[in-house]
Structure 1
Amino acid sequence: KGSVQACQLKWSTSWCFVVDAPRGSIVCGSFDIEALNGFGLPAAKIVPEPGKPAYTVAQFVERRITHVNAMAAELGVTPGMSVQEAAEALS
């Protein structure tokens, strides 16, 4: 399939993560995946458990998908999937 890339951004008070695949993205809780759906981007989101933020890409990709937009769902992404499974569905 296509290549998948992960990006970590430092914001003023936290970290932000994006895993970009050829047909969509997996993002941290800072993103509005419904807005991304409106822009034509399939997206899945990971919202961490309270008090358990991710500080590295390695920690982020160990999490499970918590939310998906309609376009990502059409590609087979579902809540509970691993990041690897979701990235494969979006590739």
Structure 2
Amino acid sequence: MGWFLGVAIGLAAIAVPSLIVGAGLGILGFGAAGIAKGTIAAGLHSAIGCASTPSIFATLQSAAMGGYGASIVSGVVQVVGGLVALVSAAFY
């Protein structure tokens, strides 16, 4: 039964990556209005200082704000989802 859950999650990530991206970025502290105070993202931002483009941090913030990073991060989620589905199905 565990393999079925892995396949389902992987396929969901491929079909609707925006749900995973939005929730994941929000949990980390990346938001549409900027970095949320007291979050992991705020701590990272404090540690790295000014985030230049194209850095992972800037891309994640761009994704949260609906910019160029949205398609990049969604694509990564879809690829990872495909791998999760594939590996789960392989261990059936």
Q: Which has the higher contact order (CA 8 A, sep 6+)?
A: 2
What TM-score, normalized by structure 1, do the two folds share? Answer: 0.25
Structure of larger gyration radius: 2
What TM-score, normalized by structure 2, do the two folds share? Answer: 0.24
Structure having the larger proportion of residues in strand: 1
